[in-house]
Amino acid sequence: MDINTAQELIVDAKVENLPLVNEFVEKVMAPLEPSMKVQMQIDLVVEEIFVNIANYAYGEGQGKAILQVQVTDSPPAVELVFMDEGMPYNPLDREEPDPEQSLEERKIGGWGIFLVKKNVDEVTYAFSEGKNILTLRKKIS
């Protein structure tokens, strides 16, 4: 099994850095030649997590987001690890919105984490050494 080395990106946790983060992930994943659909799903997951960190982790203050990406080719899969040093927050604890809800009942927000869970195979949260650590795994078929 050939395992590529994990690659790391450290950026200011600001929404305007989203294209930079997407580009980094696309570059690391390129050897797997993911389909357009898989790439779109990964973009979506990366966006929702990164934007959550950018908007909420540091409150009114500023800080960094750290992203480690590792691909394996046998079986083809990607692991994404997002870290921040903001307030301890487990996004997986948040109450999930209900896709059956009508227009009138439907809340405006809360769909980000829902989309993350729908588009990866595994997501785990840990708080360790002052860092929120969210680890996502997805098989690339």
Partner 1 sequence: MEIKKEQNGAALTIALSGRLDAVTAPDFDKVVQNDLTGITDLTLDFSELVYVASAGLRVLLLAQKRMKKQGSMKLVHVSKDVKDVLEMTGFIDFLTIED
Task: Give the footprint of partner 1 on this chain (CB under 8 A).
Answer: 15-16, 18-19, 36-37, 40, 43-44, 47-48, 51, 54, 97-103, 106, 108-109, 111-112, 114-115, 118
Q: Single out the residue of 95, 88, 17, 97 nearest to residue 57, CA to CA.
A: 88
Q: Which is nearer to partner 1, 1 or 37 (CB)?
A: 37
For partner 1, the closer of residues 27 and 130 by Cβ is: 27
Kindly state the smallest distance separating residue 50's Cβ from partner 1, in Å: 8
101 versus 124: smaller Cβ distance to partner 1? 101
26 residue type, one letter: E
Helix (H, G, I), strand (E, B), or coil: what is residue 8?
Answer: strand
> 31 preceded by cis ω (within 30°)?
no
Minimum separation from the CB atom of position 15 to partner 1 (A): 5
DSSP state of 130: T
Q: CA-to-CA distance for 7 and 137, rounded, in angstroms?
A: 15
